[in-house]
Amino acid sequence: MENSKDNMRINWFPGHMAKAQRMMREHVKLVDVVIELVDARIPLSSANPVIADIIENKPRVVALNKADLAETAWTERWIETFRSQGLQAVAIDSMTGKGTKSLISKVEQGASAAIAKLVDKGVRPRAVRAMILGIPNVGKSSLINRLLGSATVRTADKPGVTRGKQWIKVSNNLELLDTPGVLWPKIEDPSVALRLAITGAINDEVYDLEQVMAKFLTMLREDYSERLSERYKLTLPLPEDSEELLRLIGSKRGCLRSGGVVDCDKARKIILNEFRGGKLGQFTLDRQLPDRE
């Protein structure tokens, strides 16, 4: 990341991601339908732009995961937007299983034409084969675990844990090809980079936390000041300076060093973790819908 406060660039593309892209291109021909998992809080920012090129003409179902953390009205708008683009879309919560039955139904619908072609050729009907694609930490492994009903797939709250290809039998009618989470080589839009960092799609070790949280606090103050006020017992109006606001929150949360000095780094991590854990409420950070043609 550059040090400029106006030109933030976050690029994180480890070697295993390049390898994973090559693997996905090789194996996409094996599946009938693709499930693209995005973060419901950032449905556009978390959509990997290279996926359309990788899957070519395969049917695609967009699953907006972590819908419990996103604003319901905005999630509904995004679902309608995806559908207007000719894509199947559904909101899900992989932790509770909400929406997964609808997802399976849409996947089976998407694969119906491919299965019908096999039958027409005299091939005995088989299970639908689907590939799950998505950026790191969007919840692919959690979704598979929910579908299976057991913690079969290794998961972690850290991007890049799932590394290799796995075929997973969900039922007699559905088999999934799990793939590692993959970002694209260069994130051009600073606002996209910011949202990916905030939601945990990019490893926390590769960006400047101070810079990211300064921008995030400005965003929260402008759009969600009442949330901050309620959570951290602050008096409105909030300070316009993000550093002053940070110190105020840190003081309220007891992030103090000797002499009463606020531990700003500790305060930043608390705010970020509470946002990611839903303790600040529901957020949709992608609030600009693409133009409809």
SS3 207: coil
| Three-state SS at 96 | coil
Structure tokens that stand for 21 in this block: 């892209």
Q: Would you list which residues are annotated within the binding site for GTP? A: 65-68, 137-142, 181
CA atoms of 124 and 254, how far apart (whole Å): 65
Interatomic CA distance for residues 49 and 270, integer angstroms: 31
In angstroms, the CA 110 to CA 243 distance is 49
Calculate ∠ Cα 152-158-17, nearest 5°: 90
Three-point CA angle 253, 255, 259, nearest 5°: 130
Binding-site residue ranges: 65-68, 137-142, 181
Q: Are strands 88-91 and 174-178 parallel, antiparallel or unpaired?
A: unpaired
